[in-house]
Amino acid sequence: MGIVAGLDSSSEYTRIVICDTDTGAVIRQGHAPHPVPEGSDGGDGGDGAAPSTGRRTEIDPQSWLLSIGDAAAGGLLEGVQAIGVSAQQHGLVALDETGAPVRPALVGNDKRAQTAAADLVDALGGREAWAQAVGVVPQAAQPVTKLRWLARQEPETARRVAEVLQPHDWLVWQLLGRPARRTTDRGDASGTGYWSAATESWRPDLAELALGRPVRLPEVTGPAEAAGQTPEGLLISAGTGETMAAAFGLGVGIGDAVVSLGASGSVFSVHHQALVEPTGMITSLADATGMHLPVVYTLNAVRALRGAADLLGTDLEGLSALALKSTPGSYGLVLLPYLEGERTPDLPHTAGTLAGLRRESMKPEHLARAAFEGMLCGLADALDVLRGRGVAVNRIFLLGPAAELPAVQAIAPSLLGAQVVVPQPADYTALGAARQAAWALGVAQGTLSPQQPPLWPAPAGQVFEPGEELAVGQAVRQQYVTVREQTHPGAFG
């Protein structure tokens, strides 16, 4: 039996789980908060998504190390043989020639680069050109866009940039004692905007397009490879981004999809190849196992529920209880939940729509149910984008605190058209990092194959089947699609 650690450095916390290498059983765990990043309001409304305003979000990366030290206090890592590191995605740690940060790290929540994103899209010839090049169309969050913002807004600082890392890359490098070799993994690299999941290679020309001059990029390690050993002899695995680690911790495989309910939403699935979608609705990421992870984002998920709850003077639990007093179809009420514009379909400047108002439908319970149905139909649209490209979806993992709401659990299976699993709450990102550490350790010891990760048990959870309600759900979806097409004709091409 061996013992490994999985470390998740998210935007708010460091979480560490200590696991048995053979069974994945959690032996002990620790956590510690991060300091509030400069310019942040300190939170996201409690539903896991980034603020949508122009707030600054930057932080001294040393604070991540201090948080790890706090989380690991009291001998938490005693007996550990290997560590896997996961961290928040889309952060940019820009280093000078000596390896020192040229400025605080720019974190994924930073929205200041929205104009830079539009500039980059135009500079390469449009959205399709980016989709073909790297499977990622620049948005404000991505490192490639942050590089363009840095070049435009802080040119003196930008001239000092010699190398760029993401948070997980930087943490691995620090844990290894700052060796000459800097590494990343294919999963985190695939979200940068200058690594292609289709060709599995860097596009340094796109990083140069953004910054205005060449910059060094880290070496991409394989899923089961070790990044190195610490000065104390601990093996450090390749590491990865939060989305990839969570998928690995959940045990997501072919035929599975994950629907994440934050203020905004995301839908992703494991697939055998990179997918290119000309309009950029699919973001073509790589996973932590050597497969691919196509993702479709929506801008509106739980924020639509919160808006309806505020309007009705209740909270999410109260909104759920109200919704269950209504019936499928909400007496004809349809909410298009495009409260912040939308990415799927691509309608950045639109607003939400409430259709079907009649005297008999103007009751709190019908508006409440319309909010849940609208949110889930929007996510079903995202699922259909993947299904339309040949991605099999037989089982759906539903994540986020809102997945525990009874109305979500009652409505989701029929609208999403598949079995829905709500996993038992756990630190799946940290568990995925630990599983990767166990894999790299097993390969190093000769007990595991680089092609076969450790077979840890599937997480416990509640299972909900569409059953006889599937036909009802299809009718509700059709009602939603009719309103969407009337309001935004041709939105999906």
Task: Enter the tokens of residue 97.
Answer: 């020639």
- Sign of the Cα torsion 132, 136, 139, 140 reads negative
Task: Enter the tokens of residue 375.
Answer: 């949110």
Task: Enter the tokens of residue 32.
Answer: 């510690």
User: Could you read off the pLDDT of 329-347 as tens digits, one per residue?
Assistant: 999 999 999 999 999 998 9
What integer pLDDT is reported at residue 109 of this predicted model?
A: 78
- Give yes or no for residue 54 having a pLDDT over 60: no
Task: Enter the tokens of residue 147.
Answer: 């590089």
What integer pLDDT is reported at residue 56 of this predicted model?
A: 55
What integer pLDDT is reported at residue 462 of this predicted model?
A: 96
- Give yes or no for residue 35 having a pLDDT over 90: no
User: Could you read off the pLDDT of 441-474 as tens digits, one per residue?
Assistant: 999 999 999 999 999 999 999 999 998 889 999 9
Strands (E) across 110-229 are located at: 163-165, 183-185, 195-196, 201-202, 219-221, 226-229
Average pLDDT (150-179) is 97
pTM exceeds 0.85: yes
- Give yes or no for residue 44 having a pLDDT over 50: no
Count Cβ atoms below 10 Å from residue 455 Cβ, excluding itself. 12
User: Could you read off the pLDDT of 277-323 as tens digits, one per residue?
Assistant: 888 899 999 999 999 999 999 999 999 999 999 999 999 999 999 99
What integer pLDDT is reported at residue 51 of this predicted model?
A: 33
Q: Which residue ranges form the domains of the chain, and what is each CATH number?
A: 3-245 (3.30.420.40)
Of 40-49, 163-172, 294-303, 435-444, which range is least confident? 40-49
- Cα separation, 269 vs 256, in Å, equals 6
- Sign of the Cα torsion 462, 468, 470, 472 reads negative
Q: pLDDT over 90 for what percent of the chain? A: 89
Question: If you average pLDDT over every residue of the chain, what do you get?
Answer: 93
Written as one string, the DSSP assignment of 220-245 is EEPTT-EEEE-TTS-EEE--EEHHHH
Whether the bond into 466 is cis, omega within 30 of 0: no
Bridge partners of 20, per DSSP, are 3
CB 398 within 8 A of CB 421: yes
What integer pLDDT is reported at residue 53 of this predicted model?
A: 36
User: Could you read off the pLDDT of 228-268 as tens digits, one per residue?
Assistant: 999 999 999 999 999 999 999 999 999 999 999 999 999 99
Categorize the per-residue pLDDT at 37 as very low, low, confident or very high, splitting at 50, 70 and 90.
low
Q: pLDDT over 70 for what percent of the chain? A: 96
- Cα separation, 427 vs 397, in Å, equals 15
Of 29-43, 188-202, 222-236, which range is least confident? 29-43
- Give yes or no for residue 155 having a pLDDT over 80: yes
User: Could you read off the pLDDT of 377-425 as tens digits, one per residue?
Assistant: 999 999 999 999 999 999 999 999 999 999 999 999 999 999 999 999 9
Categorize the per-residue pLDDT at 45 as very low, low, confident or very high, splitting at 50, 70 and 90.
very low
What integer pLDDT is reported at residue 333 of this predicted model?
A: 98
- Give yes or no for residue 48 having a pLDDT over 60: no
